[in-house]
Copies of this chain bind each other. A is one copy, B any other.
Amino acid sequence: MPTHFQGDAETVRALSAYINLVRASDSTLAKTTAHLEGLGVTNGQFAVLEALLHLGPMCQHTLGKKLLRSGGNVTLVVDNLERHGWVRRERQAEDRRMIQIHLTPKGRRLITRVFPEHAKVVAKVMSQLSAAEQEQLRKIARKLGRGADELCTERLKREKEHDHDQTKQ
């Protein structure tokens, strides 16, 4: 094989970290997705429902930015969620370009029931790592993927800390 890989140690290190990162993500995502499918909810649908539950109603454009998905994708996922009766669209009066997405009571019941199960699966998968390792992973991954919001986790922490209702919504 006449071609060498000409990278230095730095490049080898970066590639190694990168590959393991993507594989770990793929692998854990597959496990949690398998659980969701058994509940009749796709990955994208779950992500939207979770965002609406933990962050409140928001318009599709915002949803797309939060979830790192294209506009067309959000339209499709919301279509499907609407078809199931889990969310409803509400055109904004002050800016008729925007459509705010709301959880319906039915949708709220669903995600409220499903999310704890999902959390349990994630906890089980992540339990392969020690607490310290999970914390390191969180910090490093956050630094790497910075610019992306953290969705539910901040809210979860607040809920945990205060431990009382935030009846807003």
Contacts and interface: CB of A to CB of B under 8 A. Distances in A.
A63 B36 CA distance: 27
Nearest to A115: B5
A26 B68 contact: yes
Given A17-B137, A123-B11, A23 B116 contact: no
The quantity of this chain's copies bound in the complex is 2
B26 A153 contact: no
A153 B12 contact: yes
Given A10-B123, A12-B153, A141-B137, A24 B23 contact: no
Contact of A169 (B1, B5, B163): B1
Given A15-B123, A20-B145, A9 B138 contact: no
Interface stretch (A74-82, A93-101, A127-135): A127-135
Contacts of A157: 12, 16
A83 interface: no
Contact of A5 (B23, B129, B160): B160
A156 B21 contact: no
A7 B148 CA distance: 24
A168 B147 CA distance: 45
Interface in A59-107: 68
Given A3-B112, A5-B160, A131 B25 contact: no
Interface of A: 1-7, 9-30, 32, 68, 108, 112, 115-116, 119-120, 122-123, 125-129, 131, 133-138, 140-148, 150-153, 156-157, 159-160, 163, 165-169
